[in-house]
């Protein structure tokens, strides 16, 4: 569906203004939305001709305002496909609506130990009410991160919903999320014996050291709990590619394939820089190996590794990638 941008802009009088000699480009609608001409005209008519309380009087102006008010509710119902006007509740704005849901629905249904999930890109008005609710209820607030392209990592939702996953996040005094880490449990005989770092994300404008702070806090918590054997910073995949050190003779095909995967994904994932970051914690290093029974499966193995980190890899790109996986002369 195509939109006539100029026609839409013309419907908002404020967008005809200039700022510093240039047409206004307003990007703060999340805080205060500008009003189209129809809304401005209706509000102007109300204040000039028919300003009265709704549902509170029997005189002509009050009844007229009540009819207009309920007609607006019916228009919203039709627009969003709601089943009844009883499903439409007018509030002062999104902030008031979120607080209403947090205190009513959240107050009744959220219990101790529950997870409340928000996202890393939320305005603090969609973070603070849930923080306060979780503090009152003993629930845990979990944050869905976004990637370098600004897209939410929805593939991680199942992890956040899982009560066994632990999240640590840092927020500033205004409730803005600065960084988040996710930790997965390791079991032995049904008992958790350790926690492994799953992912970590921080805002580009976060203070230096925010990730180090979160990892150190997790270490302190596990130390104080005293019931686990280890805390793992997880692997630094493919960070060893290109190294001259090798305990075993590697297949030339495998080395070539994995080196290609490392080269393709290094700009996006920074495996080598991730490896250097983790070294600052002085961890005990353990190598991870790929075991395969048939060299003919190496293209599939390499492709699986690539798709694990680049889910958006298209079939055409995958075919070109597989064709290149062959020993170099």
pLDDT, tens digit (0-9, with 9 covering 90-100), for 13-49: 999 999 999 989 999 887 888 999 999 999 999 999 9
Question: Looking at the domain assignment, is residue 78 inside a domain?
Answer: no
- pLDDT higher than threshold 50 for residue 54: yes
Of 197, 232, 267, which one is at a domain's C-terminal end? 232
DSSP 196: E
Q: Are 64 and 55 in contact (CB under 8 A)?
A: no
188/130 Cα distance (integer angstroms): 34
Residue 326's pLDDT is 46
pLDDT tens per residue, range 260-287:
666 666 665 666 777 788 888 888 888 7
State pLDDT tens for residues 217-257: 999 988 988 888 999 988 776 665 555 444 444 556 556 66
Which residue is listed with tokens 């703060």? 28
Pairing of strands 191-202, 230-232: parallel
For residues 313 and 223, state if they share a domain: no
Residues 222 and 107 in one domain: yes
The residue segments making up the domain with residue 320 are 252-324
Residues 226 and 257 placed together within one structural domain of the fold? no
Phi, psi angles (nearest 5°) of residue 206: -70, 155
Q: Say whether both 98 and 228 belong to one domain.
A: yes
Domain end marker among 203, 232, 261? 232
Given a contact cutoff of 8 angstroms between Cβ atoms, the answer to whether 199 and 179 are in contact is no
* pTM exceeding the 0.85 threshold for the entire prediction: no
* 213-222: long-range contacts, CB 8 A cutoff, minimum separation 24: 213/170, 213/179, 214/168, 214/169, 214/170, 214/179, 214/180, 214/181, 215/181, 215/281, 217/168, 218/166, 218/168, 218/181, 218/183, 222/195
Same domain? For 137 and 186 the reply is: yes
Report the domain count for the chain: 2
| Contact assessment for residue 214 and residue 171, using Cβ atoms and an 8 Å cutoff | no
SS3 86: helix
Confidence grade of residue 327 (pLDDT, cut at 50, 70, 90): very low
Q: Taking Cα atoms as reference points, which of 194, 253, 188, 245 lies closest to residue 218?
A: 194
Distances (CA, A) of 303 to 154, 198, 250, 258: 22, 22, 18, 10
For residues 276 and 222, membership in a common domain is answered with: no
Alpha carbons within 13 A on the beta-carbon side of 101: 14
The two tokens of residue 260 are 């290609």
Q: Are residues 111 and 176 in the same domain?
A: yes
Neighbour tally for 106: CB within 10 Å: 22
Whether 99 is covered by a domain: the verdict is yes
Judge whether 11 lies within some domain.
no
For tokens 């019916």, name the residue: 74
Q: What is the 3-state secondary structure (H, E, C) of 115-170?
A: EEEEECCCCHHHCHHHHHHHHHHCCEEEEECECCCCCECHHHHHHHHCCCCEEEEE
Instruction: Strand 177-188: give its sheet, edge to edge.
Output: 166-171, 177-188, 191-202, 230-232
């Amino acid at each position: 569906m195509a939109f006539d941008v100029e026609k839409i802009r013309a419907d908002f009088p404020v967008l005809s203004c200039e700022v510093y000699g240039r047409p206004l480009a307003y990007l703060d609608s999340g805080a205060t939305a500008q009003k189209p001409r129809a809304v401005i005209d209706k509000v102007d008519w109300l204040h000039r001709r028919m300003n009265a309380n709704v549902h509170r009087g029997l005189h002509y102006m009050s009844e007229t305002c009540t009819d207009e008010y309920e007609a607006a509710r019916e228009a919203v119902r039709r627009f969003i496909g709601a089943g009844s006007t009883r499903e439409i509740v007018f509030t002062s704005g999104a902030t008031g609506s979120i607080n209403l849901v947090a205190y009513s629905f959240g107050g009744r249904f959220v219990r101790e130990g529950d997870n409340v999930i928000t996202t890393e890109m939320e305005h603090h008005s969609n973070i603070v009410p849930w923080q306060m609710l979780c503090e009152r209820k003993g629930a845990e607030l979990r944050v869905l991160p976004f990637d370098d392209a600004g897209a939410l990592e929805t593939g991680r939702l199942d992890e956040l919903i899982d009560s066994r996953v632990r999240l640590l996040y840092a927020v500033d005094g205004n409730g803005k999320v600065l960084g988040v880490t996710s930790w997965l449990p390791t079991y032995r005989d049904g008992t958790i014996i350790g926690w492994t770092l799953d992912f970590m994300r921080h805002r580009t404008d976060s203070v230096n050291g925010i990730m180090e702070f979160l990892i150190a806090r997790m270490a302190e918590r596990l130390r104080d709990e005293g019931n686990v054997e280890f805390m793992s910073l997880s692997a630094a995949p493919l960070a060893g590619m290109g190294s001259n050190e090798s305990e075993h003779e590697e297949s030339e095909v495998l080395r070539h394939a994995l080196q290609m995967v490392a080269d393709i994904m290094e700009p996006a994932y920074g495996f080598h820089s991730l490896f250097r970051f983790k070294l600052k914690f002085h961890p005990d290093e353990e190598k991870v190996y790929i075991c395969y029974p048939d060299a003919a499966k190496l293209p599939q193995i390499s492709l699986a590794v690539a798709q694990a980190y680049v889910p958006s890899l298209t079939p055409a790109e995958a075919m070109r990638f597989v064709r290149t996986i062959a020993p170099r002369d």
